[in-house]
Amino acid sequence: MRRNEIDMANSRSQMRPDEGSGLGTLGQPGRSGPRWGMRWIVSAVAVGLTAAAVLGVGVFQERSTRRALTDELEARLLLEARNLSLASSSALLSDFPELTLHPLLKEKQARNPEFALLVVVDHESKIQGHPEFRRLGETLEVGGDCASYPSTQELDPGESFLQDDSHLLVVAPVEYQGQRIGTTAVGIERGYIDRIIREARLKLLVVLGAFLGLAVIVSFVTMTGLLSPIDDLRRGLERIGRGDLDHAIEVRGRTELGLLANTVNTMAAELKVAQEEMVEKERLAHELDLAREIQSRLLPHERRVTGPFVLDGSHQAAFEVGGDYYDYFSLSGGRTGIVVADVAGKGLAGCLVMSMLAALLKAYRDRYDSPKELLTQLDESLAPDLRPGAFVTMFYGILDESTGQICFASAGHMPTLVYRAEKGEVEEFRTRGIPLGAVRGGVVARTLHDETVQLGPGDLLIQYTDGINETLDVTGETQFEIEGMRTLLTKKSTLGPTAILDVFRDELETWRGGGPRQDDETLVALGWDASIPLTPPQTIPESREEAKVVPIDSALRPPSSTAPESERWLEFAEAQGDRIVLSSKVEAMGSIEPWLRRRADLEDLDGIHFDLLYTALYEACTNIAEHGYGHPNAEFVMWWLPERSRTNSLLGRFVLVDHGRAFSPDNWTASDFHDPMVRRRTRGFGLDIIHRVMCSVNYWPTTSRGNITVLAFDPTAVEIKEVRHA
Amino acid sequence: MPESFQIDEQVGDGTRTILRVRGHLNAATTGQLLNHARSIRTRGQGLVLNLSQVSFIASSGVGALLALGEEYREVGLEVCYAELSSVVDSVIKLLNLDSFLTIAATEEEALRRAA
């Protein structure tokens, strides 16, 4: 049974059997066992103390009363015996003493019924006086079988106190002129005193009972009054316990419980503040985790090897997520883009700017062959969205893999360091560009310049953020400085780009003396492996995707213009293509087949290739509907651009544009059907079909016109093996 | 409008059950095929999958055919794909999947193989 003691006290009118004793259990989860109500405890203590006090007084008083009663009784017996002796003297001298003594004793006993014995005997021990007439004349040896009784009374000669099992008596002589002529005896039953004591004790018990009852009532009423604020406290604490920290406990009464209520109210208010701070901290921590995740996703996780060039990067995050960004990626024409940037400001804000920067870079990097122009474009796109005072320092370089030449521009970023293997020394390349977004109105563009650095075999180039050179030593006063980097590069560059990243990380750790990072540390290293020859220039620089696949035997090209290639294809398709509008639901893809069948230029296509073409387009469009949009309420468009090859066979391109969520076709690799896990996965083969049917797959995500996909179809390029039957 | 998707179950030779599939085999219908075929597997029966009436197969349909083969193989049973329609045949040729699937020209050939 779980029950709160206060509840028990409140509901005393409905007590259960065990409640009569005040036994109960508090309703606290996880705590069991008996609990005692305070009201009951105090009442019980009051009763106990009252009872002990009254009983103690009673016992003491009983002893005193017994002593006093005994003394009084002895004195009275003695007095009575003496009086009786005096009264009996003249009677015993008469001829018929019994005529005088019998009425006298009868009357005396009537007046004093407690006297169990009243007797007068003469000198021959004959009873001359007795309350009962029939006892007259009997011989009585007064006190013959009694023992002496130790009395404190002063006795005259011949007097004595005697006792037997049931009586206490006084014997006094009756004298006449000095001669003893008889004896009187006055006695009472010994139980007489006990009866008086018992009566006194009974009265005491009645008084005790009255006091106890009064004590219970008074203590209970008093405690109920004193403890009544506990109910308010309990209710208030329960509300606070349920999370209502705005609840203020109002306690009636001016006892310490009122002070306790004030303390609880203060505690609740402080708890609320602490709770709000904790929630805010958790929210910030969550945002920080998100920012870290975003940052992590945007950074490359593998090194890039192209020809003799090895690119690798590292990012060591400080405790607080920063805005460092780096990337390297393939560009058309056998080129590699390298970017290192540092967003001023940390936390989620810095990370969001970094994300914007990464998205803009992806959108624009294929458009510009000049790093300066790309940085200018990024400045124009980014600056309006930056808050005042925010800016981005950025290095952007383009490596020509066929020559080892790097063309780069720097928007206020750290100098580029190049270790020259031939000389065994480090060169430093600075530009005068100012950070992106630092000044509005095209000023940044005027400060940017393209610079060119020619690398040689064995050379190693590094780019970095200021977290590297500004790393403070253990004293917190001395920075690592670019000079420290130069020294390290001079000593260790021959280890190669991947190893130099580890060297820097270890060296900076030592420099900090094991202390925490004050800033993100980002480092990108580009090395030229002298043992590998340069890659010859590529002749098909249309796009990196096209370079990977079988070139279509086509002269079809969109008209030249300054627009990016993807948008030129789209404009071309819009001007000359045959289109179908598809809603973004999988059921709508069935309309692709009749649309294809209505195309006169596809009439000559045999059944197998038609089926495969339809299947591939179905997969491409289903991908957009399912993964790009994920809902059925959007539309996207596909155009067909037919042509004839130089051998007059059918060719064509399908151009799709959608505004759904972009995906990363770069991550796609052909499914390895030899792997049983691949065969079990049931999905994910759509891109296999598309890539095997189409001889060219180009995808430009998030262009200014949307996601643009260009699929080149050449039936003669589709490889179909004969199926082996069992 | 694509024809409705149907699966007809036929008693085979006692150890194999024949399923005749009709219609489009795509993301919307492969679940039905997988569930039906898995219920036969739990009965300890092999499977002959007649695909002659499949008028379209998407990548999810291809995935279902591959997965069924693996699931049956794991429990010591076999799926034989019989009478492939031209569409199915084209896609399997395209992806070079014939070495991972047991394919028969006719249902009878598939059952003979079982015997």
What pLDDT score does A1 carry?
Answer: 37
Whether the predicted pLDDT of A705 surpasses 70: yes
**A20 against A552, higher pLDDT:** A552
Asked if A722 reaches chain B (Cβ–Cβ under 8 Å), the answer is yes
Tell me the shortest Cα–Cα distance from A385 to chain B, in angstroms: 42
CATH code for position B22: 3.30.750.24
CB burial of residue A261 (10 Å; 0-12, 13-18, 19+) = buried
CB burial of residue A476 (10 Å; 0-12, 13-18, 19+) = exposed
All residues at 6 or more sequence positions from A531 whose CB lies less than 8 Å from its CB, including other chains:
A308
Say which CATH topology domain A544-717 has: Heat Shock Protein 90 (3.30.565)
CA torsion sign, B9 to B11 to B17 to B19? negative
Phi-psi region of A58 (alpha: psi -120 to 50; beta: other; left: phi over 0): alpha
Asked if B15 reaches chain A (Cβ–Cβ under 8 Å), the answer is no
What pLDDT score does A646 carry?
Answer: 63
Sole residue written with tokens 């995707």: A545
Cβ-based contacts of A611 with chain B (< 8 Å): 56, 86-87, 90-91
Q: Which residues pair with B102 in a beta bridge?
A: B80
CA torsion sign, B7 to B27 to A725 to B17? negative
Nearest to A142 by CA among A117, A166, A165: A117
> Mean pLDDT across the stretch A368-378?
91
Cβ-based contacts of A722 with chain B (< 8 Å): 93
Give per-residue pLDDT as tens, A64-93. Answer: 888 888 888 889 889 999 998 998 988 888
Whether the predicted pLDDT of A17 surpasses 60: no
Q: Please give the single-letter amino acid code of residue A225.
A: G
Cβ-based contacts of A679 with chain B (< 8 Å): 66-67, 69-70, 100
Cβ-based contacts of B84 with chain A (< 8 Å): 723
Nearest to A229 by CA among A196, A256, A201, A195: A256
Q: Are strands A650-658 and A635-644 parallel, antiparallel or unpaired?
A: antiparallel
What angle is formed at CA A393 by the lines to CA A387 and CA A399, rounded to 5 degrees? 140
- For domain A61-196, the CATH architecture is 2-Layer Sandwich (3.30)
CB burial of residue A413 (10 Å; 0-12, 13-18, 19+) = buried
Give per-residue pLDDT as tens, A547-577. Answer: 233 344 455 566 666 677 788 888 888 888 8
Any long-range contacts for A368-373 (C-beta under 8 Å, 24+ apart)? A369/A398, A370/A407, A370/A409, A370/A450, A371/A396, A371/A397, A371/A398, A371/A407, A371/A408, A371/A409, A371/A450, A372/A409, A372/A445, A372/A448, A372/A449, A372/A450
Name the pLDDT band for A369 (thresholds 50, 70, 90).
confident
Asked if A675 reaches chain B (Cβ–Cβ under 8 Å), the answer is no
Asked if B4 reaches chain A (Cβ–Cβ under 8 Å), the answer is no
Cross-chain residue pair A611–B80, CB shorter than 8 Å:
no
> Mean pLDDT across the stretch A369-373?
91
Cross-chain residue pair B89–A612, CB shorter than 8 Å:
no
Cβ-based contacts of A683 with chain B (< 8 Å): 27, 59-60, 63
All residues at 6 or more sequence positions from A628 whose CB lies less than 8 Å from its CB, including other chains:
A584, A636, A658, A660, A661, A662, A663, A707
Asked if A622 reaches chain B (Cβ–Cβ under 8 Å), the answer is yes
Q: Which residues pair with B17 in a beta bridge?
A: B11, B47
Cβ-based contacts of A718 with chain B (< 8 Å): 94
Best mutation target, B25, B91, B100, to test chain A (most A CBs within 10 A): B91
What pLDDT score does A364 carry?
Answer: 86
- Of the candidates B67, B97, B102, the beta carbon closest to that of A726 is on B102
What pLDDT score does A569 carry?
Answer: 85
Asked if B52 reaches chain A (Cβ–Cβ under 8 Å), the answer is no
Give per-residue pLDDT as tens, A176-194. Answer: 888 889 999 999 888 887 8
Q: Is position B2 within any domain?
A: no
What pLDDT score does A334 carry?
Answer: 78
> Mean pLDDT across the stretch A288-313?
82
Residue pair A305/A496 in contact (Cβ under 8 Å)? The answer is: no
Cross-chain residue pair B1–A590, CB shorter than 8 Å:
yes
What angle is formed at CA A712 by the lines to CA A706 and CA A714, rounded to 5 degrees? 165
Asked if B115 reaches chain A (Cβ–Cβ under 8 Å), the answer is no
Coil, strand or helix at A631: coil
What pLDDT score does A20 carry?
Answer: 38
Q: Is position B87 within any domain?
A: yes
Whether the predicted pLDDT of A546 surpasses 90: no
Locate A94 and state its tokens: 């008469």
Give per-residue pLDDT as tens, A633-656. Answer: 788 999 998 877 666 677 888 999
Rounded to an integer, what distance in angstroms lies between the CA atom of residue A718 and that of residue A696?
A: 11
Rounded to an integer, what distance in angstroms lies between the CA atom of residue A590 and that of residue A347?
A: 48
* CB-defined contacts A:B, below 8 A: 111
Q: Is position B1 within any domain?
A: no
Name the pLDDT band for A666 (thresholds 50, 70, 90).
low
Chain-centre distance for alpha carbon A423: 59
Question: What secondary structure does DSSP assign to A696-713, as a single string?
Answer: EEEEEEEETTEEEEEEEE
Q: Are strands B46-57 and B79-82 parallel, antiparallel or unpaired?
A: parallel
Nearest CA in chain A to B71: A680
Sole residue written with tokens 């006449």: A176
Three-class HEC string of A533-582: CCCCCCCCCCCHHHHHCCCCCCCCCCCCCCCCHHHHHHHHHHHHCEEEEE
Tell me the shortest Cα–Cα distance from A461 to chain B, in angstroms: 44
Tell me the shortest Cα–Cα distance from A628 to chain B, in angstroms: 16
Give domain limits for chain A.
5-59+212-238, 61-196, 243-286, 299-528, 544-717
Asked if B77 reaches chain A (Cβ–Cβ under 8 Å), the answer is no
Locate A45 and state its tokens: 């203590």
Specify the DSSP class assigned to residue A21. Answer: G
Nearest to A717 by CA among A650, A658, A648, A627: A650
Q: Please give the single-letter amino acid code of residue A63.
A: R
Chain-centre distance for alpha carbon A40: 40
Asked if B95 reaches chain A (Cβ–Cβ under 8 Å), the answer is yes
CA atoms within 13 A on the CB side of A117: 25
Name the pLDDT band for A34 (thresholds 50, 70, 90).
low
Rounded to an integer, what distance in angstroms lies between the CA atom of residue A231 and that of residue A240?
A: 14
Give per-residue pLDDT as tens, A446-496. Answer: 899 999 999 999 999 999 999 999 999 888 889 999 999 999 999 998 888
Tell me the shortest Cα–Cα distance from A612 to chain B, in angstroms: 7
Cross-chain residue pair B58–A724, CB shorter than 8 Å:
no
Tell me the shortest Cα–Cα distance from B86 to chain A, in angstroms: 7
All residues at 6 or more sequence positions from A49 whose CB lies less than 8 Å from its CB, including other chains:
A215
Q: Please give the single-letter amino acid code of residue A664.
A: S
Q: Please give the single-letter amino acid code of residue B64.
A: A
Residue pair A442/A405 in contact (Cβ under 8 Å)? The answer is: no
What pLDDT score does A547 carry?
Answer: 29
What pLDDT score does A166 carry?
Answer: 83
Whether the predicted pLDDT of A669 surpasses 50: yes
Specify the DSSP class assigned to residue A323. Answer: -
Mean pLDDT over all residues of chain A?
82
Cβ-based contacts of A622 with chain B (< 8 Å): 27, 58
Asked if B80 reaches chain A (Cβ–Cβ under 8 Å), the answer is yes
**A585 against B53, higher pLDDT:** B53
- Lowest mean per-residue pLDDT among A291-300, A438-447, A618-627: A291-300
Overall domain count for chain B: 1
Give per-residue pLDDT as tens, A200-225. Answer: 788 878 887 888 888 888 888 888 88
What pLDDT score does A601 carry?
Answer: 83
Whether the predicted pLDDT of A312 surpasses 50: yes
What pLDDT score does A239 carry?
Answer: 86
Asked if A596 reaches chain B (Cβ–Cβ under 8 Å), the answer is no
- Of the candidates B56, B95, B98, the beta carbon closest to that of A724 is on B98
Cβ-based contacts of A608 with chain B (< 8 Å): 86, 89-90, 93
Cross-chain residue pair B63–A612, CB shorter than 8 Å:
no
What pLDDT score does A11 carry?
Answer: 39
What pLDDT score does A330 carry?
Answer: 84
What pLDDT score does A555 carry?
Answer: 52
Give per-residue pLDDT as tens, A144-163. Answer: 888 888 888 888 888 999 98
> Mean pLDDT across the stretch B26-54?
93
Cross-chain residue pair A726–B113, CB shorter than 8 Å:
yes
Asked if A213 reaches chain B (Cβ–Cβ under 8 Å), the answer is no
A residues 688-707 lying closer than 8 A (beta carbon) to B: 688-689, 692-693
Locate A631 and state its tokens: 């809902």
Cross-chain residue pair A622–B87, CB shorter than 8 Å:
no
Q: Which helix (H) or strand (E) holds A598?
A: none
Locate A61 and state its tokens: 């008083």
- For domain A299-528, the CATH architecture is 4-Layer Sandwich (3.60)
What pLDDT score does A415 carry?
Answer: 94
- Of the candidates A615, A622, A725, the beta carbon closest to that of B105 is on A725
Locate A43 and state its tokens: 């009442």
Asked if B108 reaches chain A (Cβ–Cβ under 8 Å), the answer is no
For residue B51, give its domain range: 7-114
Strands (DSSP E) found in A242-382: 304-306, 309-316, 324-331, 335-343
Return the biggest CA–CA distance within chain B: 40
Tell me the shortest Cα–Cα distance from B9 to chain A, in angstroms: 22
Phi-psi region of A524 (alpha: psi -120 to 50; beta: other; left: phi over 0): beta
Cβ-based contacts of B105 with chain A (< 8 Å): 725
> Mean pLDDT across the stretch B51-57?
95
What pLDDT score does B75 carry?
Answer: 92
Locate A230 and state its tokens: 């506990």
Nearest to A135 by CA among A97, A183, A96, A102: A102
What pLDDT score does A718 carry?
Answer: 84
Coil, strand or helix at B79: strand
Q: What is the ipTM of this complex?
A: 0.94
